[in-house]
Amino acid sequence: MHASTKPSTYIIDGLNFIRSFLLTAHSAGEETLTADLIAWLDELGQTRLSGSDFRLILDGGYRNIGPTRTSCVSTQFAENRTADELILETAYYLHKNNTRAVVITSDLELGAKVRELGVKVMHCAKFFNSFYR
């Protein structure tokens, strides 16, 4: 799949995104990288992906990562379930309501389940490399 600039709702597997390639490329910790990711997605939603919104979904409970909601980004913590379950539920809901959705994950098993729902999937590194300046 190529990266599209059509307005979409991007559902991002947050820790998978960070751990799949960002954490090894930077010396900052997960919390700092998560805050940086939120800021980058917000900027992206105001510029190159104008009209899109981002749902950053993180495993575990709330962590103090700074602002978790911006004009384009909402961050959800999976709390008592897995991020994968929340991602699947969100993707299913958006698809059934005719909202253009794309799941960003490097998790092959999750990607296969999302595709079964009829929702597009993009690998984390491909998404990042498509839009990082």
CA 70 to CA 75: how far, in whole Å? 9
Cβ proximity of 105 and 15 under 8 Å: no
Sign of the alpha-carbon dihedral angle for 36, 51, 106, 25: negative
Burial class (CB in 10 A: 0-12, 13-18, 19+), 21: middle
For residue 115, the model assigns a pLDDT of: 98
Q: Which of 113, 111, 131, 130 is nearest to 121 (CA)?
A: 111
Give the pLDDT confidence score for residue 113 in this predicted structure.
Answer: 98
Domain ranges of the chain: 1-9+17-73+120-133
Which pLDDT value is given to residue 127? 94
Task: Give the pairing of strands 101-104 and 120-122.
Answer: parallel
Q: What is the pLDDT of residue 17?
A: 92
Q: Per-residue confidence of the chain (133 residues) as pLDDT tens digits?
A: 556 778 899 999 999 998 876 666 566 678 888 898 999 999 999 999 999 999 999 998 887 787 789 999 999 999 999 999 999 999 999 999 999 999 999 999 999 999 999 999 999 999 998 987 6
Q: What is the pLDDT of residue 23?
A: 60
